[in-house]
Every structure is written in C-alpha cells, then in structure tokens.
C-alpha cells in the first residue's frame, strides 16, 4: 500500500487498528482441547471416505496406468 | 472513517471545500469521494475525542494486543498432537505420479481442479492457460493471455468458464466452448481491476462472483456479469498472496495470507476482518481451509506450515523439520483432513499427519520448485505444478 500518505493518516490508521483490535479481543473463543477434539472427530468420521488415506483398489483407480490389451 | 483504496492522483475541485487541488480518490463505506488532502486530514482529526492523540492510540493498541495474547493463551490448555496421541498412527504411504502433464513452455504458476474431478486448468509464466483432462492427459483448451506471469487461475463451479490473471492487474473470465471455430480469446471478459498484480482468484459458490487478491494489498469481490466491485477488503499491510473460501456449509468467510506475515479471516458480506493471525516469520504463500471449515493451514517462506483453529483463535500446530530450510509454496488437505500435502521450493512435496504433526512421506519427482498443489474434489488424487514446466497427478 502507498506509504506516502501514511504520515498524514497515522491517526486514522491508529484508530482503525484500535477498533480492529477491540473487535478481535471481544470474539468468543473455545479451549484448544475442545477444538482439537473436534478436529480429530472430523478426521475420524471422514477418514473412511478419503481415498488418499485409505487407498483405492486398482480396479477403481481412474488414474491407474492402462496396460495395452492383448488379443488372445 | 476514511478508507483509502485506490490512490489515483487527479487534479480538480474537491468535493468538500470546492477548491481546486490535487485530489485523493477515497471510499467511505463504498461511496466514492474526491477530497483534497487537507480535507482528508481535517476529517481524520475531526472524529477524535479530546484525549485521543496518536500516542494514546498507539498505547491502547499495544495494550489491546497484549490482552489479545493473554486471552488466547488462557485457552491454550493442551497441544493438538497431545490430544492426537490417542489416534492410530498412519501406515506408510506409497504415492506415485500417475500422470505427467507436459505442454507448458515455462514455469507452471497455478492450477485448479474442475468439479467434475477430471479436468484441471493451469497457468504459467509464458502467458498460457491450458485446460487438461487429467485422465487422458489431453489438452482441451488453451488460451494465450496478453500478459506473462499468470499467477492465478480458477475453474468455475459449473465447469463452463475459467478465470485467470497476473501481471495485467486484472482478472479475466473466459467461457469454455467446444466449438472449434470459436476463438476463446474473443469472448474474454475483464472482471477485476486492481492497481497491482493479481496473485489469486477464486469463484464463490456460483459462476457469478469472483474473489480476487492482489499485490496492492487488497482483496475484492466482483460480479462477473457487470464487472462491478461488490466488496473490498482492506487490512493487509503488504501484498496479498493467496486466498481460500470457506467450505460452503460453514458460511461466508474467506482467509487471505500476505507478505506482511499475517493471515486474515474476512466476512464476505461486511468486508470486515474477523480474525487475524501473525505467527509466521515470513511471507505466507498459500492458505487452505480445513474441510470442516473450523481451521485453516498456511504455508510460508519460513519453511513451516501452521494450522490455525478459528474457534480457538490461535495456532494449534506447526509442521516443520530442521532439515527443511526451503520455503513452502503451497498447501492442501486431503478429503478427510487427516493428511496435509505441502509443496516446497526444494522440489519436494511433504505429506504431514495433520493431527500428530509428523511427516508421513516425501514425494520426489519435480525438477524444480513446486509452485502449486491441489487435491482433486473427490480426493482420489492431487495435482502439483512446478517450475519445471510440468504438472504431476
């Protein structure tokens, strides 16, 4: 951002910073233990749907290399 | 309060004092005014109460910052990896490159998947934007942009259009057409106008709105049809390098990361910054929301990736190793959020266990730094783009 006018806007910038910090200080927070537990829960629930985690059988893998067909 | 967005110096009559002076084009609550600098200064001082001076405001901001830290620290009762001890460790992973997409003439800078899980769009330094079919490695569309360093590209949710931008300071939307006779460049629509390079863009849930991040320090939400600015987001002190929208169920927010080492979470409708996180030591190159929307990860030039939880309002995990000294350029989660894929400037991709904080696997293969990385929408694969001109799936 332009720094030319920052000197004349120091006051307005400082006011804005203070207002922003006031907003941030007043938000509701939860404990890290609860947040971590929720993250783990989400992982556990969705792990079975995660192909990169579980691996996909080769028959379903759309990206597997196709071998050339042989004519019997 | 005055909000300064695009600083265009023009000369003319001031809207307030009617004198002819050099004007500043400023926005107050989305209305545009042209005021001379004297009036701006006076307005800035007008709103102050008697005892508010610059130094008192600075003091207050310092105390508020300390208070914020204290509040955050109070709730920091346990580390994520301690809680995750109960979870089983992941086995060894073997991931192979299944497809190599060659065709770009220069460094690949950005890529995005289509919702149909097979197409992807990628952009590169030579100005080319190519749409590939990842299953067959065919190129379906190719557009040449008039500028080089196309640093941002995005696929529309419907799959009918792509958006890209870079050094031309704007974001252009190209509708995708399969008609061989049509020239795609002719249908281009310029949507965003910034005063510096475009670093990231993303469609919101519909084809009609685009969110952009730019080197001028702002993010902006645009309407595609009319090209009108719907909302602008100010707060970063330096270039904004990346952004990511919250997964649709959890609402109208997005996170942006910039060269000022801050990651900020914004409300799309009000333009207000809701939270900000400043624990990185260097520029944040990439941010990505956790699939549940309650957390996000960021990758930075300080060679670490960090996980921030939005509800606990703090950083909950750092993914780093002594042996990693090169900056991380891009990050993405697997579908369940258990794995974190990060691309680094030392040509490797590291896979981390999100909960335990340990590295699960390293992937080699690129011959130059990995610049972008995205997991496909159904989670079956991920694509990485690199400065070695190729993309690997």
Chain B within 8 Å of A62 (Cβ-Cβ)? yes
Q: What is the pLDDT along chain B (393 residues), one digit of tens a residue?
A: 334 444 445 666 776 677 776 766 555 555 556 666 676 666 666 655 545 677 777 888 888 888 888 877 777 777 777 777 777 777 777 788 888 888 888 999 999 998 888 888 999 888 888 888 888 888 888 888 888 888 998 998 888 888 888 888 888 888 887 765 556 666 778 888 888 999 999 988 877 889 999 998 889 998 888 888 888 888 888 999 999 998 866 578 899 999 999 899 998 888 888 888 888 999 999 999 998 888 999 999 998 899 998 888 888 888 888 888 899 999 999 888 888 999 999 998 999 888 888 888 888 888 999 999 999 888 888 899 999 998 888
Residue linked to tokens 């207002």: A19
Q: Chain A closest CA to B166's CA: distance in Å?
A: 18
**Residues linked to residue B165 through DSSP beta bridges, in sequence order:** B152, B171
> Which of B57, B59, B307, B314 to mutate: most A Cβ within 10 Å?
B57
Contact B95 A52 (CB under 8 A): yes
Of B7, B44, B135, the CB nearest to A11: B44
DSSP A26-61: TS----HHHHHHHHHHHHHHHGGG-HHHH---TTT-
Contact B1 A15 (CB under 8 A): yes
Task: Give the SS3 label for residue B172.
Answer: strand
Chain B within 8 Å of A58 (Cβ-Cβ)? no
pLDDT, position A26: 78
pLDDT, position B358: 86
Q: Chain A closest CA to B119's CA: distance in Å?
A: 13
Closest CA in chain A for residue B290:
A39
Q: How far apart are CA B120 and CA B329, in angstroms?
A: 19
Structure tokens at B256: 């942006």
Chain B within 8 Å of A47 (Cβ-Cβ)? yes
Sign of CA dihedral A37, A43, A46, A48: negative
Measured from the Cβ of residue B22, the count of other Cβ atoms closer than 10 Å reads: 11
Each residue's pLDDT tens digit, B211-260: 999 998 889 998 888 888 888 888 888 999 999 998 866 578 899 999 99
**Residues in chain B, overall count:** 393
Closest CA in chain B for residue A21:
B64
pLDDT > 70 in chain B, percent: 85
Structure tokens at B278: 């400043």
pLDDT, position B31: 58
> Which of A6, A7, A10, A14 to mutate: most B Cβ within 10 Å?
A14
Contact A24 B380 (CB under 8 A): no
Contact B316 A35 (CB under 8 A): yes
Structure tokens at B107: 């460094």
**For residue A32, which residues of chain B lie inside 8 Å, CB to CB?**
75-80, 309, 312, 314, 316
Q: How far apart are CA B137 and CA B158, in angstroms?
A: 21
Q: What is the DSSP letter of B3?
A: B
Closest CA in chain A for residue B70:
A25
Each residue's pLDDT tens digit, B289-320: 998 888 999 999 998 899 998 888 888 888 88
Pick out chain A residues at pLDDT < 70.
1-9, 65-72
What percent of the residues of chain B are helix, what percent strand, and what percent coil, each to the nearest 5?
Answer: 10, 45, 45
pLDDT, position B241: 92
* ipTM of the complex model: 0.75
Per the CB < 8 A criterion, the answer to whether B221 and B203 are in contact is no
pLDDT, position B301: 92
Structure tokens at B143: 């557009």
Q: How far apart are CA B264 and CA B272, in angstroms?
A: 10
pTM exceeding 0.90 = no
């Amino acid at each position: 951002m332009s720094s030319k006018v920052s000197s004349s806007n120091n006051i307005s910038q400082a006011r804005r910073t203070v207002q922003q910090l006031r907003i941030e200080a007043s938000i509701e927070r939860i404990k890290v233990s609860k947040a971590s537990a929720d993250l783990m829960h989400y992982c556990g629930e969705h792990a079975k749907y995660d192909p990169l985690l579980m691996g996909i059988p080769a028959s379903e893998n759309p990206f597997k290399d196709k071998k050339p067909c042989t004519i019997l | 309060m005055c909000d300064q967005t695009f600083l265009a110096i023009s000369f003319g009559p001031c809207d307030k004092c009617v004198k002819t002076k050099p004007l500043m084009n400023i926005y107050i609550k989305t209305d545009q005014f042209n005021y001379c600098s004297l009036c701006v200064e006076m307005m800035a001082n007008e709103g102050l109460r008697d005892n508010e001076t610059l130094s008192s405001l600075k003091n207050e901001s310092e105390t508020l910052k300390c208070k914020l830290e204290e509040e955050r620290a109070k709730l920091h009762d346990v580390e994520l990896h301690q809680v995750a001890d109960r979870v089983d460790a992941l086995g060894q992973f073997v991931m192979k490159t299944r497809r190599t997409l060659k065709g770009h003439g220069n460094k690949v800078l950005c890529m995005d998947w289509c919702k149909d899980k097979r197409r992807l769009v990628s952009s590169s330094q030579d100005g080319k934007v190519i749409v590939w079919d990842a299953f067959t490695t065919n190129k379906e569309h190719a557009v040449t942009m008039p500028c080089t360093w196309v640093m941002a590209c995005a696929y529309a949710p419907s799959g009918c259009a792509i958006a890209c931008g870079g050094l031309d300071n704007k974001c252009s939307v190209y509708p995708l057409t399969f008609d061989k006779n049509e020239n795609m460049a002719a249908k281009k629509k310029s949507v965003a106008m910034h005063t510096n390079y475009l670093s990231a863009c993303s469609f919101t849930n519909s084809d009609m709105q685009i969110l952009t991040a730019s080197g001028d320090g702002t993010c902006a939400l645009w309407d595609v049809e009319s090209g009108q600015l719907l909302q602008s987001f100010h707060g970063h002190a330096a270039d904004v390098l990346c952004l990511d929208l919250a997964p649709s169920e959890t609402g109208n927010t997005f996170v942006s990361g910039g060269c000022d080492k801050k990651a900020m979470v914004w409300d799309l409708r009000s333009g207000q910054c809701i939270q900000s996180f400043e624990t990185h030591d260097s520029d944040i190159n990439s941010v990505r929301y956790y699939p549940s929307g309650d957390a996000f990860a960021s990758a930075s030039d300080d060679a670490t990736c960090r996980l921030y939880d939005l509800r606990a309002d703090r950083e909950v995990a750092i993914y780093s190793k002594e042996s990693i000294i090169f900056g991380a350029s891009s990050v993405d989660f697997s579908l369940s959020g258990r794995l974190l894929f990060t691309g680094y400037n030392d040509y490797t991709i590291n896979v981390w266990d999100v909960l335990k904080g340990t590295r699960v696997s390293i992937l080699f293969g690129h011959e130059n730094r990995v610049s972008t990385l995205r997991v496909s929408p159904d989670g079956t694969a991920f694509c990485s783009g690199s400065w070695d001109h190729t993309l690997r799936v």
